[in-house]
Structure 1
Amino acid sequence: MSLSESHQHHHDYDQSPFQAFFAGRGPGRILIVAGLALAMVAFTGWMAIVFQLGSGDVSGPEDALGDRLPSGVPVGAVYFFGFGVGGILMAVGSSMAKAAAHRDSRVGHLVITIVISVATVLGLFLVLDGAPVSALTPRFSDGGSGGTGPTELVTTNAKSAHRNGLTMTVTRIENVGRKGQIHLQVVNKTDQSVDLPVQWFALTDADGQRYEPDSFSRGWQPTIGPGATQTGTIRLEKAVPPTSGPLRAEFNHVYRLGTIAVSGIPTR
């Protein structure tokens, strides 16, 4: 073999997956595309988690890796695994495509591909634990609602309370995923702004158990101007049992008003 042929042979086998896609041959190129697509989806998922962390759309450190699947595995861990599998598929596909171009044996590549694919499918089946594959879809915002998952209705019986020109109405209570969510409407008929920050809110059930607000909740604007009506949601740190009523929702330490509370909220 001449020096130029030796150099050319070495150069071909040092090609990147992208070069191998165009210079190679056979089904290895399909693996390169599949691995690249998987890696890109996983990377997008990680960027979505970073975006949520930066915007405060997470409930706390326990959800720093995104929502948890029914198996208890956070989606961030699945994204990490998917990015690694995507990289492996690209490497195997690149090697297979180059081997096909040089008419070398591809049996070993096929065996590796089958093993990786079967292991990935089985792992995905276990971590999803009955959840749809769409549960892994990257999302860059929860729209302020806080949490994902099935919605469990607690009550739609609207109840109101009035105090010195302020009217607070609880219009709906539900559980979204593993967190309670209160739908509120506040009408300010006074001649001054009223501040109702999330930190002053609490929900209490018939047994005296308190459901504290999630400090990361973003569905409620605290300042209600004079003559204004404020509608929004407050996310709780935990779910509210549908049989825990009657419930009491209240804001404490309201300036010049003290406490405004809606009591006797029935549950189903």
Structure 2
Amino acid sequence: MSERTLKADFENRAPSEHPSRWNDLWVEGFTPWDRGLPSPALLELLTERPELLPVSGSTNTGKKLKALVPGCGKGYEVLLLSAFGYDAYGLDVSEKALEFAREHEKEMGSQEVYKTREGVERGKVAWLCGDFFTSDVFKDVQDFETGFDFIYDYTFLCALPLSLRSKWSQRQNELLAPGGRLMCLEFPTNKPTNSGGPPWPLPPKIYQALLPRPGVELKYDDQGVLVESELGPPSPKGLMALAHYQPKKTHKAGYDAEGKLMDFVSIWGHNDSA
């Protein structure tokens, strides 16, 4: 019997069917993307790379900074950001995933990784069920119009069909506050470009093409390789890459068969507030 794959689950399904299918998979307990713990790369950023975190010029100065984790699943990173003082919002299209997230939140007090650091007041946690691409899902977010100071993207872009990538770049641009930071944990970077998905192959150059050009459709050849020669210039309103590096460690899925770390971290901000 062949091993079940996410690709097979989504093959021949229209993008409009994807949200309900993700929920079905949570109900069925088939969740190969669930890592079981917060991202080591995010923890590294929060503890060792403060120069890459949101700047003091954020529109939310004087209030707790707001963080968003789209496609949050069980909410490991949401709870971690809360422990570092952010008002943290976990967004998912699956209500079943958020049921698990609420259960995990009740248990987090027993886990060392979620302990607040000295002098840090824990931020609030909120769970949002709905579509990342609509504003309705954010109707209960306080001061939503100011944007989010920190957005964490991992196993979210790679779960989206290619037809939604331009909308993803546009939405990240819209949701990120002036002075805010978008962290992309780039994955999977070493998957063959013609292998399909989800998870869809995402070498770093895809992020580097998308985010400076919000809303622009990218072109790929018949092997799924980005046609870089047809990229237009970056938009003045696009996001700017502030850092690109490999973390010290990442989830097990981010290593190749020989044990080489393949994930990258990119940090992005608005051109006029970097």
Q: Which has the larger strand fraction?
A: 1
Q: Same fold (TM over 0.5)?
A: no
Q: TM-score, normalised by structure 1?
A: 0.22
- Whose radius of gyration is greater, 1 or 2? 1
Q: TM-score, normalised by structure 2?
A: 0.22
